[in-house]
Amino acid sequence: MGRPPCCDKLGVKKGPWTPEEDIILVSYIQQNGPGNWKSVPNNTGLSRCSKSCRLRWTNYLRPGIKRGGFTDHEEKLIIHLQALLGNRWAAIASYVPQRTDNDIKNYWNTHLKKKLRKTEEDEAEGGPSSFPGFSSNYHHPNSKGQWERRLQTDINMAKQALHDALYMDRPSFIYDSNPSCSSSSHSSTTPARPASTYASSTENISRLLQNWTRKPPKNNSPPGAHQSTTASSDGTATASVPNNIVSPESSSLFQHWESKQSAAEPLFPLSLLETWLFDESSSYVGGHDMNTAAIY
DNA sequence: AAACCTTACAACCGCGTCCCT
DNA sequence: TAGGGACGCGGTTGTAAGGTT
């Protein structure tokens, strides 16, 4: 017996989302919060599958998402994390502020994989690396089976959780929610490129969202929320907003979203992880064990 | 200018996991 | 404890946009 389709195929619209659909979805989530996706198509009248609604929200419409314009720093972080975690994009995304797993996965498949391959070829020929700062020796997916790598990762995470439990009062355990801080720690060598917040095709949606992401709560603001739409905050936010779009201050959406974000905090403190990763990039000699040991 | 090729990324699909009854 | 529904994740595809010939 096969798995039943997640939704009725008849009458379910597929393909690119229109701005109108985006507005409907955003309005609904703003009022009800994300979750209970099954009911979203019925309650909004959208001819979309619940999965599609969730994906659209998490990968595109959710506040605090930075799109495109990966910095060198982010690239290196992703490469290191991929080497450590494998293709566990959701886990990787939890360490890269403002990036979705889908975005990282796409960027890996379209850019980083090629870059690394080219680096390997360059090094095989004895020439200069096309990817300065990285050695292909680092990326050796076949050196360990994926299951073994995952096991090692899980062990390390368990260790870290125990460590955190024991040293919770340490001030160093702070997930740096300010993306400018996390990226600026290496910005002296890798200045961040300006990031486009939304694809131009949905710029109007970004403007819409800007109205309720421009003033996130000052305290306990979610990671990445500060710059969620800064690229388009040019004062031209004149998109017509439906009356049922409420202001960020009065919306419960941010509370929903904040709780989600805090739940998705990385198991490792980012600052510690970054220190390890970037120290490691210059001292790697051939094994994950040595690196993971450096954490503790 | 048109045809073809390549690239980038949004979105879909299927499976695994979690949670509720 | 088992069954089923809902959600999350990773792999893959479709297609629009840009580049090249």
Q: Which amino acid is at A108?
A: W
Decide if pLDDT at A19 tops 80.
yes
Measuring alpha carbon to C1', the residue closest to nucleotide C13 is A15
* Share in percent of chain A as helix, strand, coil (round to 5): 55, 0, 45
A60: nearest nucleotide, CA–C1' criterion: B10
Confirm whether any atom of chain C, the nucleic acid strand, is less than 7 Å from CB of A95: no
Which residues from 8-47 of A have any strand C atom under 7 Å from their CB?
15-16, 35-38
Chain B, protein-covered positions (CB within 7 A): 7-15
Confirm whether any atom of chain C, the nucleic acid strand, is less than 7 Å from CB of A199: no
Decide if pLDDT at A246 tops 80.
no
Q: Are residues A101 and A220 in the same domain?
A: yes
Q: Are residues A46 and A148 in the same domain?
A: no
Query: What is the arithmetic mean of pLDDT over A228-236?
Result: 33
Q: Are residues A54 and A181 in the same domain?
A: no
Q: Are residues A31 and A127 in the same domain?
A: no
pLDDT (0 to 100) of residue A79: 87
Confidence of residue A263 (pLDDT cuts 50, 70, 90): very low
Share of chain A above pLDDT 70, in %: 38
Confirm whether any atom of chain C, the nucleic acid strand, is less than 7 Å from CB of A210: no
Q: Are residues A50 and A164 in the same domain?
A: no
Give tens-digit pLDDT for A134-188.
555 544 444 444 444 555 555 555 555 445 544 444 433 333 333 333 333 333 3
3-state secondary structure of A269: coil
Chain C, protein-covered positions (CB within 7 A): 5-12, 15-17
Of the two residues A264 and A41, the one the predictor is more confident about is A41
Q: Are residues A132 and A176 in the same domain?
A: yes
The two three-digit tokens of residue A291, written as one number: 């690196």
Kindly state whether residue A271 falls inside one of the protein's structural domains.
yes
Q: Are A257 and A220 in contact (CB under 8 A)?
A: no
Give tens-digit pLDDT for A87-140.
888 888 888 888 888 889 888 888 888 887 777 777 776 665 556 555 555 444
Distance, Å, A36 CA → B20 C1':
14
What range defines the domain where residue A34 resides?
13-61
Q: Are residues A88 and A49 in the same domain?
A: no
